[in-house]
Amino acid sequence: MHRSELTIDLGALRRNVGTLLRALGGAGVWAVVKADGYGHGTADVAGAALGAGASGLCVATIPEALALRLDYPQVRILVLGPAGGSREIAQAREAGLELAVADTEIPQGVRVHVKLETGMGRYGVSELPGRAREIVGLMSHLATADTDAPFAAQQIERFAALTDGFPGVERHIANSAAALRIPEARFDFARCGLALYGLSPFGDDPARDGLEPVLLWQSALAQVKLLQPGESTGYGRRFVVERPTWIGIVPVGYADGFRRDLTGTEVRVGGEPRRVVGTISMDSFAVELDGELPVGTPVVLVGHGVLMESHARVAGTITYELACGIESGPLRARRTVVDA
């Protein structure tokens, strides 16, 4: 076993696309694969999502879209974030990208989706620009699809009213949370990120919404030792034992994306839930064991019942941030793609 082993299950991703399509009752899914596919690997997840029926891809930046264009010459790709000036707009035009535009000025010769401000208070225009043949979509983004249904309903109503009466122009407002639980948000398609990866936009067990986690993160015990009363593990001596205590050292740390604020969370060691103790280092952390275990005992950091949602709760953050932070490059991890 490699010290940081990531397994991406494209079968699970395809089933999640199926779950979203069923929840959307006829509306489409565009797969949001920005930030390296939320840490899962853009190119792989994009291919699987399209194979499972996604109609297009969304990314945040034009460089992300240009990289995808090499692998997917024919697919519609929408850039959600602002373009960085006229050079990027020219690149977008040449590559046949579509741009989300939060401005009344519409760039020429490139298909745009006008982003309307309906309550997110971020990018967006409050009034529609005049009709231009470049406009193929009208979109908005929900601020509270996962937390405040009445506010989301208000945004949806505002969006419906603003965009009524533009035949042939696609309308889209839903993210994963809305696709799963707010039927009024469907319109023509939903832009789904988190749920594709089998993570819950509600911070619950994803199984509640029929989602399967796509990522499995494993390691193995690199050292096992018995601490005597008064001894400690890790920087700052934050875990001092009162009685003889077996601990295991896992060779993964915050440089791999196992964040420093995950002390206290549970991973599985040899199949059993075990608590992370002491300060998490750059390249390792410790777990408390209930007895001696051999070096090499498998450790599951995420997956096989260890939920990213539980880690997020311990770290006081959201799964989005944890997933994006996992380091999958070859210098730190071995990444394997399977189709189970």
**Site residues for ligand PLP per CB under 6 A:** 32, 80, 141, 175-177, 191-194, 201
In angstroms, give the least distance from the CB of 48 to ligand PLP.
16
Residue 233 · residue 286 · CB < 8 Å = yes
Asked if 235 is an active-site residue, the reply is: yes
In angstroms, give the least distance from the CB of 66 to ligand PLP.
18
In angstroms, give the least distance from the CB of 38 to ligand PLP.
7
Asked if 34 is an active-site residue, the reply is: yes
CB atoms inside a 10 Å sphere around CB 223 = 12
Q: Which is nearer to ligand PLP, 39 or 193 (CB)?
A: 193
Q: Which is nearer to ligand PLP, 201 or 257 (CB)?
A: 201
In angstroms, give the least distance from the CB of 110 to ligand PLP.
18
In angstroms, give the least distance from the CB of 61 to ligand PLP.
11
Strand partners, 122: none
Q: Which is nearer to ligand PLP, 119 or 193 (CB)?
A: 193
- Residue 122: DSSP 8-state: S
Residue 300 · residue 217 · CB < 8 Å = yes
Beta strands 266-269 and 298-302, pairing class: antiparallel
Strand partners, 245: 227
Selecting among 34, 38, 115, 197, the annotated active-site residue is 34
Residue 312 · residue 242 · CB < 8 Å = no
Q: Which is nearer to ligand PLP, 20 or 252 (CB)?
A: 20
Residue 212 burial (C-beta neighbours within 10 Å; 0-12, 13-18, 19+):
middle
Structure tokens at 135: 């406009």
Q: Which is nearer to ligand PLP, 22 or 304 (CB)?
A: 22
| Distance separating alpha carbons of residues 75 and 38, to the nearest angstrom | 20
- Residue 178: DSSP 8-state: H
Selecting among 72, 197, 235, 254, the annotated active-site residue is 235
Amino acid at 197: Y
Catalytic residue numbers read 34, 235
